[in-house]
């Protein structure tokens, strides 16, 4: 059995604990209500926690199965859209991807130190790095959309104010 298969087997065996650790690491990036985000499982009471939980599982499975990056974009997009509208810097918004490395290292600590999977783990972590780059691209597109919406709203407000002031000035002139 090759080392890639051995690593994949370890990652599959420890999937639940890796995902739980990854989720908890992500939730720690949220100030204040991270306990609520971790514990509330209802998708309507906690849409942020629910979405992140569902999408990181999809991302993890995609990485394990070697799914093409464009298939992972939807899951990344669902998480990034949440983080793009929150008070996260760009690095904080995409840092959740890198937290997977920590979760895996924590869960496979024994196997890593025994030298069973070190080289293959580095290759797998390269896939995580590629995922982070995709996440950053998605984040930038989301932020561009947010700024575009703000600019359009501001333009509409200015046009509305000008129209309103024009009507008042016309009405004022008629009365004189």
Domain that holds residue 27: 3-143
The share of the chain scoring above pLDDT 70, in percent, equals 91
From 57, 41, 46, 146, select the one nearest 93 (Cα to Cα): 146
The answer to whether 98 touches 35, Cβ cutoff 8 Å, is no
Note whether residue 45 is domain-resident. Answer: yes
Give per-residue pLDDT as tens, 104-120. Answer: 999 999 888 887 688 88
Task: Give the domain CATH number at 42.
Answer: 1.10.490
Q: What does the pLDDT read at residue 174?
A: 44
pLDDT at 176 over 50: no
87: three-class secondary structure by DSSP: coil
Higher pLDDT, 68 or 95: 95
Higher pLDDT, 42 or 167: 42
Q: What does the pLDDT read at residue 172?
A: 44
Instruction: Give the total number of structural domains in the chain.
Output: 1
Q: Look at 38-47, 51-60, 161-170 and tell me which has the smallest mean pLDDT.
A: 161-170
Q: Burial level of 26, CB count in 10 A (0-12/13-18/19+)?
A: buried
Note whether residue 155 is domain-resident. Answer: no
Structure tokens at 104: 């895996």
Task: Give the chain's end-to-end CA distance (angstroms, integer).
Answer: 94
């Amino acid at each position: 059995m090759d080392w890639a298969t051995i690593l994949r087997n370890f990652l599959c065996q420890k999937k639940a604990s890796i995902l739980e650790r990854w989720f908890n690491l992500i939730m720690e990036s949220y100030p204040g209500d991270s306990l609520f985000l971790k514990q509330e499982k209802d998708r309507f009471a906690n849409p942020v926690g629910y979405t992140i939980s569902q999408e990181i599982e999809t991302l993890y499975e995609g990485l394990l199965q070697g799914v093409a990056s464009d298939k992972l974009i939807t899951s990344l997009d669902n998480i990034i859209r949440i983080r793009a509208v929150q008070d996260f810097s760009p690095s904080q918004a995409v840092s959740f991807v890198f937290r997977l490395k920590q979760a895996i290292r924590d869960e496979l600590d024994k196997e890593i130190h025994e030298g069973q999977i070190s080289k293959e783990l580095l290759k797998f972590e390269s896939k995580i790095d590629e995922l982070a780059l995709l996440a950053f691209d998605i984040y930038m597109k989301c932020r561009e959309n947010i700024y575009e919406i703000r600019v359009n709203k501001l333009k509409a407000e200015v046009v509305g104010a000008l129209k309103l002031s024009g009507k008042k000035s016309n009405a004022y002139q008629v009365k004189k």
